[in-house]
Copies of this chain bind each other. A is one copy, B any other.
Amino acid sequence: MVGIFSSGCHCQIGFVVKIDFEPLGRRVEVNDSETILDAAQRAGLTVAAICGGRGTCGTCKIRLVSGELTPPTSVETQKLPSSALVSGFRLACQSRPAGDIRVEVPPESLTALQRILVEGIDSKFEFDPSIRFVSLDIEPPDNGDFEADDLRILKALNDLGFSSGITISPPIFPVLSSQLRSLEWKIKLAVTTTEPGSVIACLPVNAHGLGIACDMGSTKLAMYLVDLETGGILARTGRMNPQISYGEDVVNRIAYCNTHQDGRQILQHRLIETLNEMIGDLCGKTGSRPEWIVDCVMVGNTAMHHFFAGFPVRQLGEAPFIPAVSQATYLSAGNLHLNVAPGAEVYLPPNIAGFVGSDHVAMLLAANSWIGEKTIVSMDIGTNTEISLLSGGNMYSCSCASGPAFEGAHIEAGMRAAAGAIERVQIRNSQIIWQTIENTRPVGICGSGILDTVAELKLAGFLDTRGIFVRDHPMSNRLKEKNRMVLIPAESTGIGKDIEITRRDINQIQLAKAAIQAGVKILLKKAGCQPQDIDDFFIAGAFGTYLDVDHSIEIGLLPDIPLERYHQMGNAAGVGACQLLFSKKMRKTAGFIANNSHYVELTIDPDFTGDFLDAMFLHRGY
């Protein structure tokens, strides 16, 4: 900690301090008048800060590991439970270093909006939600005034200057008349902001108008509760997708629907049941009521979109894999039995193609990677990896069948990223160093761990470019048989036996990365670009956020461009979904993206097979 500014009138007083960000291991020197959020951004870290640092969203949580911060502000004592404060949790936008410090960025705070780093959030979009709120104190009917309930409300709105074409949405009528009377005609109405407007909910005047944004992954569901009146994110929650019992991936779930009568209804019902539990959680956490939720944005891959909406999936499961619905769609929450205000609308952004869904559109929104003169790749790695390339103002999208290896599936010792999963692997002098999630004894290996393993084994020279273990190598003593090595011996694991890596596991990673490499190459060819032309490379999703970029380049998963061009974004689809709640303009943009994206079907591209086979080898970069 070194003072660099002299004290004096009109001069800024400050010290340069060092901040170490864990577990990412980045160090940055900053002026101590800057917030930790500023410092993190300067360090290129994708810390979430949905509200732009105004202290309203609570997404920028960090934890002090050593050193001192300025004392908690009143905003922090309000936003954070005292138990969290005691454990060292703080809001990055509210706290400043009081000396050299070490802070930990918890994974949940990495659900970042990358453009914060690039352009600053405030220039990104204005707060312009689809719903506005109007408080009214209406004269009740009496024996000289027989006007109907609906007309009474419409006239009060007309008096306030609302368009004469304004209507009341029929789903609220079954509850409206008793609400008006129990609230004694003092109400807060939720009104759509598209002309001429429609009243979609009647709330008590002291209620907050709320919205939910949800990213429906094939495996995981993430939901955000937001305050539509202030723009704050109030709470987040996550659950496993209950449809997993009907098929691990969407292809199997479509097959289930094709072979079971009411299969679609069952999948939809199970999903919505779980979404309703999540809504219950969020409301419980925040002391809110589900009927105050008046707007919903749901994003997901095209199959999840169809499962949620009850749209047919048969044609989505067989070539040429056609979505029933690609355009943005508004559904009634009441029809879907979503436990929110019965008149709430559910907005589903558009899909680009059968395997490039609205979650990818939301990611492009969050990364702001859909417009401009830069060359930008946006990628969401999963069982299907969606890739978009923006180049020369044109947009190309594709989907690669990368398989579930990066989610830990189809790997003998593979597991999801959960406690006990090996998430980081290094090899130094033939010694294997590893780290598990929550630092427990290892019980398996997750996507980022297996990726690290393959890259480090290759760097150590123990794997050849075909993915075969090399004989007569210092590490050969780890081979149990020709195609099977011990990664962690039984005495160090939490399962009483060795954790092993097989040649088949390595081949799975080769197949996955080859599909992705071929996809990127074909998009680049379509646009007439080289990998080196890529200015920014956004990677979203859980695996994408935790993968080691250099290792990914090492095995040829990612192209060999400077590391600083890579941006790991966290749950970008969820962030995009929140933006779609906050901004009507974003909804227009989503339509623009879907309609202007050139979908490239890899399987019919004449270069695809060749590119794919070439990419199977473990070469650095491309």
Contact = CB atoms under 8 A, between A and B. Distances in A.
A412 interface: no
A323 B174 contact: no
Given A148-B325, A326-B150, A320 B143 contact: yes
Interface string A329-348: 11110010000000000000
Contacts of A145: 320
Interface string A302-339: 00000001111011000111111111011110010000
A314 B149 CA distance: 12
A311 B150 CA distance: 12
A525 to B, nearest CB: 18
Interface in A211-250: none
Given A173-B309, A314-B178, A327 B142 contact: no
B146 A353 contact: yes
Given A148-B351, A150-B324, A173 B604 contact: no
A163 to B, nearest CB: 14
Interface in A279-321: 309-312, 314-315, 319-321
Given A154-B327, A170-B329, A320 B141 contact: yes
Contacts of A349: none
B170 A324 contact: no
A599 interface: yes
Contact of A146 (B150, B181, B312, B354): B354
Interface in A129-155: 141-151, 154
A394 interface: no
Total copies of the chain: 2
A177 B353 contact: no
Contacts of A335: 332, 335
Contacts of A315: 149, 177, 181
A323 B353 contact: no
A150 B305 CA distance: 14
A601 interface: yes
A260 to B, nearest CB: 16
Nearest to A315: B177
B148 A322 contact: yes
Listed residue (A148, A174, A310, A314) with the most chain B CB atoms within 10 angstroms of its CB: A148
A318 to B, nearest CB: 11
A321 B146 CA distance: 7
Given A146-B321, A149-B323, 12 more contacts: A147-B322, A147-B326, A148-B325, A148-B327, A149-B325, A150-B325, A151-B326, A154-B327, A168-B327, A173-B309, A174-B311, A178-B312
28 contacts: A141-B320, A141-B322, A146-B321, A148-B322, A148-B323, A148-B324, A148-B325, A148-B327, A148-B351, A149-B324, A149-B325, A150-B323, A150-B326, A154-B327, A167-B327, A168-B325, A168-B327, A173-B311, A175-B312, A177-B311, A177-B312, A177-B314, A177-B315, A177-B322, A177-B324, A178-B314, A181-B315, A332-B335
